[in-house]
Each structure stands twice: as structure tokens, then as C-alpha cells.
Amino acid sequence: MGTQGMGGRPGAGMGGRAGHTTERAEGTPAVAARAPGGARRVGLRLVAAVALLALAGCGSDQAASVAPKGWGTLETPSVTVAHPPAFKEQGEAERSRFNAAAATLTEDGRAVGTITVQLGFTEADSAEEAAIGAEAGIALGSTLKGQKEITVAGPEGRREARRIDFEFTRGPDRVRGVIVAGLDTARKAYAVRVDAVKGRLGDDDLKKIVESVAVR
């Protein structure tokens, strides 16, 4: 959104009982023939364990990175973020060279909202340092509303990030801004920034955008 945007520079057993030994012929499977109920319980425990492992491997982390129905997704080599259908993704020739991806919301031919992704914009060893670098891209005169710790989806679990909230005035408009900053899996800084003229992007949609951020 002009110079105000990011273009300028987150020990189960086997059914036996203690003290009880069941002899079986060599090579015979260890089936609890005299305790079919126990065998069924063991089977159910195994099924439950497999289900828990599946949930642990593809639970909330993957769900958090899936775009809501009807939304689009900005894809970069390190970070993805969903955008409402009213936002239109910019091609490489349209967006700033500092942005790895961008989408814009327009009304009457002017931009009233943007979502941008920047990669490797600063040297950082932590999410906190990445956030400091991201704050440097906020225009002078902006009002910082606060910074807080959040997490974003990743391939091996939730990853630490920072959310920065701020506001600034652009012409006749008061603009609300949010930045999600952190390190990707290669420990390179990233920043996902959302700018929107007040009243143009609902709190629910903003929440969905932030929650959709995922690193690769």
C-alpha cells in the first residue's frame, strides 16, 4: 500500500495376566485363544494408538495451513498464507521486488488492502529479532499497538513467531496493520504483513489470515 507497505524496505501388554504362562507349540502364533475378549481389547488399543499417531503427525499444524473454503493462497518457497477471495494475487511484474508474494484488495480502482510476504529481509537468529527487523519497515508516524508471541504451523510442529499490530494514516484513511514475523525452517527471516483501511477487512477474516500462516 504505497510507501507505507512492506515493499519499501510464527507398556501395553499382550493380553496375558501377571504370573500366568501359556505354553504353545514352536512356530504357533501367540494368539490368546482362551481369552478372545482380551485379544479384542489389544486390537482396539492398537487401533487407538495408530489413530493418535496419525493425529499427532497431521493434526492442527496441517489444518492451520489450509486455506478456508473459497480462499486463495500465496505460495512462496518458505511461507504460505491464505487470502480472502476478494484479494487478487499480484504477478511478479506487478508486485514490489522486495515481496516474494502479494495480494491486493481494490475498490473504485484504488488499493484498500494488501497482504505481502517478504523473505530474508534481515539477518535474525530468533523470531524476536525477525520482528525487530519487520518493525523497521513500519513508516514513521505509525502507532504501534503491541507485539505478542504466537505460533504458526510448520512441518514438524508449531513454530515460534511474533505478531505486531499497528495503525497509520494514509491520506484520508486510517489503516490497520498486522505483521507476523519469524524464522522459516532454514532459519531465514520472513514477514507476512496485512494492511487494510479500517472497515474493509473484518476481524474474523484477519484472524483467519493470521492463523493460516505456515512455514515450510
DSSP strands (E only) in 76-185: 79-83, 88-89, 101-107, 110-119, 143-152, 159-170, 173-183
In this prediction, residue 66 has a pLDDT band, given cuts at 50, 70 and 90, of: confident
Residues in the chain: 216
Q: Is 207 exposed, middle or buried (0-12, 13-18, 19+ CB in 10 A)?
A: exposed
Q: What is the mean pLDDT of residues 150-177?
A: 96
Q: Is the pLDDT of residue 200 over 90?
A: yes
Q: Is the pLDDT of residue 46 over 60?
A: no
178 forms beta bridges with: 165, 194
- Range scoring the smallest mean pLDDT among 19-33, 51-65, 168-182, 192-206: 19-33
Q: Is the pLDDT of residue 52 over 70?
A: no
Q: What are the backbone angles phi and psi of residue 128, rounded to the nearest 5°?
A: -65, -45
Q: Is 86 exposed, middle or buried (0-12, 13-18, 19+ CB in 10 A)?
A: middle
Q: Is the pLDDT of residue 70 over 50?
A: yes
- Range scoring the smallest mean pLDDT among 33-47, 89-103, 121-135: 33-47
In this prediction, residue 53 has a pLDDT band, given cuts at 50, 70 and 90, of: very low
Q: Is the pLDDT of residue 63 over 70?
A: no
The dihedral built from the CA positions of residue 204, 206, 211 and 216, taken in this order, carries a sign that is positive
Determine the pLDDT at residue 65: 55
Q: Is the pLDDT of residue 151 over 90?
A: yes
Model pTM greater than 0.75? Answer: no
List, in order, residues 6 or more apart from 154 with CB less than 8 Å away.
61, 185, 214, 215, 216
171: how many CB neighbours lie within 10 A of its CB? 9
Determine the pLDDT at residue 37: 53
With CA atoms as reference, report the closest residue to 105 among 203, 212, 1. Answer: 1
Average pLDDT, the chain: 80
Tell me the pLDDT tens digit for each residue of 96-128.
999 999 999 999 999 999 999 999 999 999 999
Helix, strand or coil, per DSSP, at residue 163: strand
